[in-house]
Amino acid sequence: MPFPTPFDLYRGRVLPAWIDSNDHMNLAYYVVLFDLAGDLAYNRFGLGPLGDYKARTNFGTMAVESHNLYVQELLLDEEVKVVTQILAVDDKRIHMAHEMYRLPDNTLAAMQELMLLHVDLGRRKVTPWPADIRALLDEAAEAHKMLKVPDWVGRRIAMPVR
């Protein structure tokens, strides 16, 4: 089955425990929602929580860098969708982007860019993808090449430093 393009299957809702002293969703829970959306993509590759990849291989993935941008606050009980884009894949890495939209009006709320590594969890060392997983990752990256790379990808935080 072709990899969905765009990959926009995740839906979530802002829970009461996620509301902070500003009466909106705390920044940490944007990351939680992005992570849950990433799990859906991982399931398509056989890497996610629905599969037995870790139990079978003792391999997994670890994020080594993430950049989060917050555009629009989210309030209690608001529903969101997350669109995931596979930007690039190589022997040991995935470069991924997420965009979170408030529903039903599709207002962009937040974005996340990630670099993830494939890791041998026994040795705690980065290791190449198995051929079958790499083929699925390559298929997703190829399908997503038709999508525009978001203009915020590669952005960095900066301001004058003394």
Residues 83/144, Cβ–Cβ less than 8 Å: no
Domain ranges of the chain: 7-144
- DSSP 3-state assignment of 69? strand
Distances, alpha carbon 127 to alpha carbons 61, 90, 138, in Å: 10, 11, 17
pLDDT (tens place) for every residue of the chain, 162 residues total: 688 999 999 999 999 999 999 999 999 999 999 999 999 999 998 887 777 898 899 999 999 999 999 999 999 999 999 999 999 999 999 999 999 999 999 999 999 999 999 999 999 999 999 999 999 999 999 999 999 999 999 999 989 988
Q: Which of 6, 51, 12, 47 is nearest to 32 (CA)?
A: 12
- Calpha distance 43→79 (Å, rounded): 22
Architecture per CATH, domain 7-144, reads as Roll (3.10)
